[in-house]
Structure 1
Amino acid sequence: MTAGSALLASGMAAAATGSPATPTCEDKGEVNAISSPHYRLQNVRLEEGFEYEGDSVIATRTGLYDLEVNNGALVAIQPVKDRTASALPAFDAGGLLLLPATRDMHIHLDKTFYGGPWQAPRPRKGKTIMDMIAREQTIIPRLLPHSVEHAEAIIRLLQAKGTTVARSHCNIDPVSGLKSLEHLQIALQKHQQDFSCEIVAFPQHGLLHSKVDSLMREAMQMGVQFVGGLDPTNVDGAMEKSLDAMFSIALDTQKGVDIHLHETTPAGIAAIKYMIRTVEQNPQLRGKVTLSHAFALSVMADEELDEVIEGLAKQQFSVASTVPIGKGVMPLPQLTEKGVRVMTGTDSVIDHWSPFGTGSMLEKANLYAQLYGNSDEFGLTRSLAIATGNILPLDASGKRQWPKVNDPAEMILVAASCSAEAVARVPEVQAGFHQGRLVAGGLKKA
C-alpha cells in the first residue's frame, strides 16, 4: 500500500491511456444534451423492494416509472401505467435502471498524465516516498502547461463513468506555488454547470518539509474547502508539530481537514490517536476531518482497533479509502457499522504514482463487494453505498428511499436489472445527470 494506492482489480479493464473519447450518441439518433430545465424522463426502472426465501434476500423487484425533472430536482415520480398526457419535452430511458450518481471523493485532478500520450510511471521498487517526492519535483513543471486540459479530460472520464461530484486534492508546493490550484480552478470553472468538486490544498512535498505554511494559508483564501496533510512522521519528521500546523491552519481559517496518512508503523497509529484527541479538544473540528487512506487501521486489531474506531465515530471522522488490495485489509465494514462515514475515490487515474485507475466508482463498489464477501443479493446492494455517498435505492428492510420527490436529479442510467447486478457486473453508464442536466451518454426522444 503506497502513496499512489494503485487499484488492482482482477477481471476489470484498466482504462486511462492516451486521449479520452467524449461520449456521443448522435450516430444512434439520440440526443446528448437536454436544453430544457423542465422535462420528463420516461420508462425508468426503479427498485421497489426485496424478494425473500425465508429470511434471505434473493432478488430485487423493480418497476417502470416516469420522472419529471424541473430545475435540477425530481418533482414527480409516477408508474408508467398511470402516465398522463404532457406537453413537456420527453425522453425515453428504455427500461434502463436508475441509480444515484457516483462520487469520487479522493482524486488528484491537478497532476495527471490522462489526456496526453501514454506514459507509464517510472519504476517504484525500492523507492521511498521521499524519492517519489523528489521525482515529482521534476515532473510538475512539465505537467503545468497542460494541467487545465488534462484536468478537463479526467472530468469528462469521470462523468462518462457516472461521477458528478468529486473531491480533488491539489498540490501546494514550492515548485508550482499556487499555479496548480489556479489551473485546477480554471478547469472546474469551465465545468461549473455539469460537475461539482471540493478542493483540498495538499502539501504533497510535506507541510513542514517544504515550508509551505504561508502558501497553504493563501490557498485557503482562494475558495479551497479543506486543509490537506501528508505522513507527519515519514515526510515531515515531527508528528505532533506537523499535525498541529495542519490543524492550526484549519482552525484559523474555519476549514475542514483531509490528510493523506499512508504510515502503517506505530507512528501511523499514534498519528490517528493524536488527531482524535485534537478534535476532542477542538469540538469545532468535529465532523470536519477526513483520513485519506489511513492504512494504519489495517494493522490494528482487537481492543485497540475497537477503541480507535469508537473515537473516530464519536468525533465524526470520515475515512476516504481506495479499497486497496495488499498485505493488510482495511476494516471498512467495521468503520461503517460503528458510524464512521466511509467514502471511496479514484486517487490516480494515471500519473507518476500509478497507471491503474479507471475512474469508475461502480468498480470500487464491485471491489468492495469482492473483498468483504458481499456476493449475495443483499450484500451487493449494500456495497453500492461506498460509491454513492451512502445513498441507496432501498433501505435495509427493502423500502424504497431513493429517489423521492424533491431529491436532486443526480443520477445515472445503466443496463442492469437491479443495483446488485450493477455492482456485480459493472455495466457501462448509458446516461449521467448532474443537477438535472444530461452530462454524459445519451437518450432517445420519447
Structure 2
Amino acid sequence: MQLSRRGILAAALVAGAAGVAAPALAAKMKPAGAKGAEAKGASFLLRGVTLETGYRREGGEVIGTETAKASVLVRGGKIAAILPADAPAPMGVAVRDAKGMLLLPSFRDMHIHLDKTFYGGPWVPPRKRTEGIRGQIKLEQTLLPQLLPTLEERAGKLVDLLQSNGTTFARSQCNVDPVVGTKHVELLKHALDSRADGFGHEIVAFPQHGFVSADLIPTMRAAMAAGATHVGGIDPTALDGGMEKSVDAMMQVALDMDKGVDIHLHEPGASGIAAIRRIADTVEREPELRGKVTLSHAFSMMSLPAPEMEDLAARLAALDMSVASTLPFGTRMMPIPILLDKGVKVYTGTDSVEDHWSVFGSGDVLEKAKLACQLYGWSDEYTISQSLKIATGGPTPLDAAGKQVWPKAGDAADMVLVPAACSAEAVARQSPRKAVFHAGNLVSGALDAA
C-alpha cells in the first residue's frame, strides 16, 4: 500500500526568523543568545501587561473579552504573584515595561522533526515524490548520513525559529533506523539539553523505516536508554508488515522502559482504526500507560461515521490518550471538534519545516489555531478565543465558563507578549510575538526597562 502525505498534509505560511542576542539586564531586556537566555532564575516585575479577566455577554452570547492591566512578578522561573498595575517592585527587582501588551501562555509544538530539516542552511531543491512514503524512506537512506555532521546546528536554528514564533516547548520526532541507529537521538538530545534554560523538550524515538520489519527492537531500546522520552511507531499494517506484532512490540518497549508512546498513524480506514483499538486495549490492560500515549496524525479517524467516532473519542478520553494533529484539510477533515467535545487532549505541531518531506512549513503553531477556526467554523469571539488551546497544548487565559485560570501564582513563567486586545484577536490576526519567555528567561524579542 502506497501512502503520500502530499495528498493529506497542507502547506502552512512561512514565518519570520528569530531575535538577536544582547545582555539581559541592560536598558533593554534581550535574549542572551541562540543557546541561552538571561540569568537562570532571574527575578523581574513585568509591568503594564493586559490580562484577560472574563467574557462580556449579551444574553447567553459572548460578545467580547474583558481585560485589566496588571503587573506580573517572576521569580525562580515561575510566576510568583499577580499584582496591581501600579504596584512597586520589590527591593532589587528589575522592572520591565510590557507597554500594555496582552500576556498569553507560550506555545507548544507537539509534533515536529527537529532532526531532519534543511532550515538555516542553503536551499535544497525539492524532489518529485515517487513511491509515496516508501520512496521518501529510500531517499533518507542516503540523505541522512550526509546531514548528520550539521544536525545540531540545523536543529538549533529551527529552535530559534520556534522561539521567535512564541513556542518554548517541542516534542520532536527523531529518526531511529538501520542507517543512523541512535545517532540522531544522541545528537538532538545534546543540542536540546544545551538550551534547557530557554526551551523545553521531549524526544520520540521514531522508527521511520519500520519497527519490527526493520528489526529495530534492540535499537529502539538503546534509543530509550540514550534519552528518548517516548517510543514511536509507524503505520503497522501499511509499512511495518503486521499490525499486532508492530503495535505489541512498541507497547512492550514502553512498558519495559517506563516511557511514553507516540505513534505515526498515516494509514487510513479500517487498518488504522484497528491499530488505534489495539493500542487502547493495551492501555486498558496496563493502567500505567494512561496519560502517556499519543496518536499522531490518526488519519483513519476521518473515515469514521460520527456515532462511531463519538464512541471512540469517549474511550480515548477515558483512557487519557491524546491526539496530535497537524490539522490537514481536503475533502475530509479530522474530527477535532468531536475529540474536544468528548474530553480528548488534542495537540498540534508543525511537523516538517523545510525538509525533504515538505518545504512549506512555518514553525508557527498559532497558525494552526487560526486554521482550526477556519476548518471548523469557529468564527465568533468565544470559539476563536478558546481555539488558543490548539497552540498552547491546553492552557487558555479563560476557561470554557469564562473564569480566569491563567496566569496564577505558581505557574511556570512560560509566556508570550503580543500587541492584541484579547486571545481572539491574537489568533485571528496572527499578532506578532514581541517577547517570549521560558521559565522566566527571555528567549526572543526585547523589552524596555520601566
Letter in 1 for 2:71: D
What is the deviation of 1:68?
A: 0.8
Secondary structure of 1:386's counterpart equals: helix
Distance 1:53 1:71 in 2: 42
Q: Which of these residues, 112, 121, 124, is aligned with residue 119 of structure 1? A: 124
Distance 1:171 1:305 in 2: 31
What is the deviation of 1:21?
A: 5.0
What is the deviation of 1:282?
A: 2.0
Partner of 1:215: 219
Q: Is the 8 A contact 2:52 2:65 kept in 1?
A: yes
Q: Is the 8 A contact 1:412 1:432 kept in 2?
A: yes
Partner of 1:364: 368
Query: Do the aligned partners of residues 60 and 21 (structure 1) sit closer, same or farther apart at CA in structure 2, a change above 3 Å counting?
Result: closer
What is the deviation of 1:283?
A: 2.1
Quick check: 1:385 aligned with 2:389?
Answer: yes
In structure 2, list runs of 5 or more residues that go unmatched: 32-37
What is the deviation of 1:152?
A: 0.3
What is the deviation of 1:297?
A: 0.4
What is the deviation of 1:8?
A: 2.9
Q: Is the 8 A contact 2:309 2:338 kept in 1?
A: no
Q: Is the 8 A contact 2:56 2:63 kept in 1?
A: yes
Secondary structure of 1:429's counterpart equals: coil
Q: Which of these residues, 49, 63, 66, is aligned with residue 68 of structure 2? A: 63
What is the deviation of 1:82?
A: 4.7
Identity of aligned residues (%): 50
Partner of 1:108: 113
Query: Do the aligned partners of residues 120 and 62 (structure 1) sit closer, same or farther apart at CA in structure 2, a change above 3 Å counting?
Result: farther
Distance 2:240 2:374 in 1: 36
Quick check: 1:30 aligned with 2:28?
Answer: yes
Letter in 2 for 1:393: P
Q: Is the 8 A contact 2:310 2:342 kept in 1?
A: no
**Range with greater deviation from structure 2 (421-430 or 114-123):** 114-123
What is the deviation of 1:120?
A: 4.0
Distance 2:50 2:257 in 1: 45
Q: Is the 8 A contact 1:67 1:76 kept in 2?
A: yes
1:131-176 Cα offsets, whole Å, 9 max, x none, are 1111111211111111110000011111110011110111001111
**Range with greater deviation from structure 2 (31-40 or 265-274):** 31-40
What is the deviation of 1:327?
A: 2.5
What is the deviation of 1:207?
A: 0.4
Distance 1:105 1:369 in 2: 19
Distance 1:24 1:328 in 2: 44
Q: Is the 8 A contact 1:15 1:356 kept in 2?
A: no
Letter in 1 for 2:72: L
What is the deviation of 1:311?
A: 1.8
Partner of 2:35: none
Equivalences for residues 257-272 of structure 1 within 5 A:
257-272=261-276
Normalised TM-score (structure 2)? 0.93
Distance 1:383 1:406 in 2: 24
What is the deviation of 1:51?
A: 1.2
Equivalences for residues 293-372 of structure 1 within 5 A:
293-372=297-376
Letter in 2 for 1:68: L
What is the deviation of 1:289?
A: 0.8
Q: Is the 8 A contact 1:25 1:441 kept in 2?
A: no
Normalised TM-score (structure 1)? 0.94
Secondary structure of 1:417's counterpart equals: coil
Quick check: 1:8 aligned with 2:8?
Answer: no
In structure 1, list runs of 5 or more residues that go unmatched: none
Query: Do the aligned partners of residues 21 and 76 (structure 1) sit closer, same or farther apart at CA in structure 2, a change above 3 Å counting?
Result: closer
Distance 1:350 1:178 in 2: 23
- Work out the number of aligned pairs and report it: 438
Distance 2:78 2:306 in 1: 45
Distance 2:309 2:423 in 1: 32
